[in-house]
A and B are shown apart, each in its own frame.
Chain A
Amino acid sequence: MIRRTVLTTALTAALAAIAIPAAAQDALRIGVEGAYPPFSSTSSDGTLVGFDIDIAKALCAEMQRECELVQQEWDGMIPALKAQKFDAIVASMSITEERKRQIDFSDKYYQTPARVVAPKGADFEGTPEGLAGKRIGVQRGATHQCYAEKMFPDAEIVLYGSQDEVFRDLALGRVDAQLSDSLIAKEGFLDTDAGADYEFLGGDHLDIECYGEGVGIAVRKGEEELRDALSAAILAIREDGTYAEINDKYFEFDIYGGRPAAE
């Protein structure tokens, strides 16, 4: 009898696994990056960890949906979403006009400014004039590519597949400076051994055209129901303290930023 139950359970599970993806309560597939610490990285045993990962799991728990994390390289993220490789992106993706033409976003779940990082005691300033003729490392497809090309037209913008590679080449001196999210730069580079001889150059960079209204969760156009459910879940975990709990695991201050994104 027990045997039969086990068998039935196994069969049900197997059937569930091959069920048609369109069914309403199937696992929600979430695209994540895994090379963007401390938001998203792959630990030594291969599991995904980070702020984005924890937020994604918390949102799934809040929405009472089963979730499956799908790892995807950054510059293929939007094409993969559109090609239905997954249904939502939780990968520190800023809500920008350019991206909104392709996909839709939930309300923001955090917002931090971008900053330039250069070697300590660099003989140039973090201004458009100071960075003219310098090589600035930027992650390809990130909002920083848009901003760097707009703000530093006289600099040579060097594009990388992942933020990790930008830091690696900055440490090797292949680029003179880099532009990225300030938190990423601090936690992922400046606070590590490799970044000991580097510091922020100049102040915060905020720009509505390139950086938009903060970081949101991307869904395909036309998926209003999912988008609104995600926005509601973000508000809910903000209110019940789950967000604060995750936030404090990684950061010393609340990274949610000011008021929620304007409609």
Chain B
Amino acid sequence: METLLSYIPLDIALIVDNFDRFMYGVWVTLNLTFLALLLGGLLAIPMAIARASKHPVFNPLIQIYTYVFRGTPLLVQTYLIYYGVGQFDVIRNSWLWDPVLSSAWWCALIAFTLNTAAYTTELLRGAIADTPTGEVEAAIATGHSYRSRMRRIILPSAFRRAIPAYSNEVIFMLHGSVIASTITLQDILGVGRWLNGRYYLAYEGFITAAVLYFLIVLCITWAFRWFERRYLRHLIRRSEGETPDITPAPVA
């Protein structure tokens, strides 16, 4: 084992010694990413409904918002919030500065939340608009009001159909969260950069970071596969003429 390790051109001991730091980095990455996804998702639901129902006031406003946040890079948005906002004395002297905007963590959370909310809004809007007419007509025919139609038929159906596309958004957000390391946060990449800064070894820090991100994406993919199997079962297409579950067992 010892001799095998000596062939790997990496300082494994250094990675092992700093494993705690990397685990802390994993925690920072996960909590930022998933908190942003949660808050962004909650913001996105009403905005998607307003967009899909073409609300006369909110629809154009939300459309401008999603244009801006989907049209600019997350890095720029984060810099604007972290470095840009601090330039204004008004903000620095307000209550917003001390607990919130002076902290890198809050700035990252705000930027990430607004960004993912914009993408999720458009994704959900599409899913809502794509609801099969039959489902809506059936709901109307059975006497559902607009509200109850939305709540009991359209949204559950749209959420399910949005799952595959949303898994991409989750992975993009995870990868986008590396931007936290540019505003001093010690997320996974932040720890990788710390290691490079301290020992001048680029591979050790960045390969460890890459492996950690990869493992997280693997978990996310598995989780979504499970969700899809569970919640999209009714949409799995069977081939023409096939009758379900009566294929004869192979003869031994």
A-B pair number, CB within 8 angstroms: 50
Structural contact, A145 and B197, CB atoms closer than 8 A? yes
A→B interface (CB under 8 Å): 75-76, 78-79, 98-99, 101-103, 140-142, 145-146, 149, 158-161, 168-169, 172-174
Given contacts A140-B194, A161-B182, whether A173 and B199 have CB atoms under 8 Å apart is no
Residues in A neighbouring B198, C-beta threshold 8 A:
98, 141, 145-146, 149
Partner of A141, one of B92, B103, B186, B200: B200
Partner of B184, one of A75, A79, A99, A158: A158
In the complex, A67 Cα to B92 Cα: how many Å? 45
Q: Does B201 count as interface, using CB distance less than 8 angstroms?
A: yes
Structural contact, B104 and A75, CB atoms closer than 8 A? no
In the complex, A49 Cα to B186 Cα: how many Å? 32
Structural contact, B200 and A99, CB atoms closer than 8 A? yes
Q: Does B208 count as interface, using CB distance less than 8 angstroms?
A: no
Partner of A172, one of B86, B190, B202: B86
Pairs A–B under 8 Å by Cβ, sample size 29: A76-B202, A78-B200, A78-B202, A79-B202, A98-B200, A99-B200, A102-B200, A140-B193, A140-B194, A140-B197, A141-B196, A141-B198, A142-B197, A145-B194, A145-B197, A145-B198, A146-B198, A149-B198, A158-B184, A159-B184, A159-B186, A159-B190, A159-B193, A159-B194, A160-B184, A172-B86, A172-B102, A173-B92, A174-B86
B154-185 residues with Cβ-Cβ distance < 8 A to A are 182, 184
**Chain B interface SS verdict (over half):** helix
Q: Which residue in chain A gives the minimum CB-CB distance to B206?
A: A79
The interface size bin for chain B is 10 to 19
Partner of B197, one of A141, A168, A172: A141
Q: Does B19 count as interface, using CB distance less than 8 angstroms?
A: no
Partner of A173, one of B102, B186, B200: B102
Q: What 4 A-B pairs have minimum CB-CB distances, sorted nearest first?
A: A141-B197, A140-B197, A79-B202, A172-B86
- Chain A's nearest CB lies how many Å from the CB of B194? 6
Residues in B neighbouring A168, C-beta threshold 8 A:
83, 86
Residues in A neighbouring B201, C-beta threshold 8 A:
102
Given contacts A79-B202, A159-B184, A160-B184, whether A174 and B102 have CB atoms under 8 Å apart is yes
Structural contact, B194 and A174, CB atoms closer than 8 A? no
Q: Specify which of A102, A103, A146, A174 lies most central, judged by the most chain B CB atoms within 10 Å of its CB.
A: A174
In the complex, A160 Cα to B190 Cα: how many Å? 10
In the complex, A75 Cα to B201 Cα: how many Å? 11
- Chain B's nearest CB lies how many Å from the CB of A73? 11
In the complex, A210 Cα to B27 Cα: how many Å? 30
Structural contact, B92 and A172, CB atoms closer than 8 A? yes
Structural contact, A75 and B83, CB atoms closer than 8 A? no
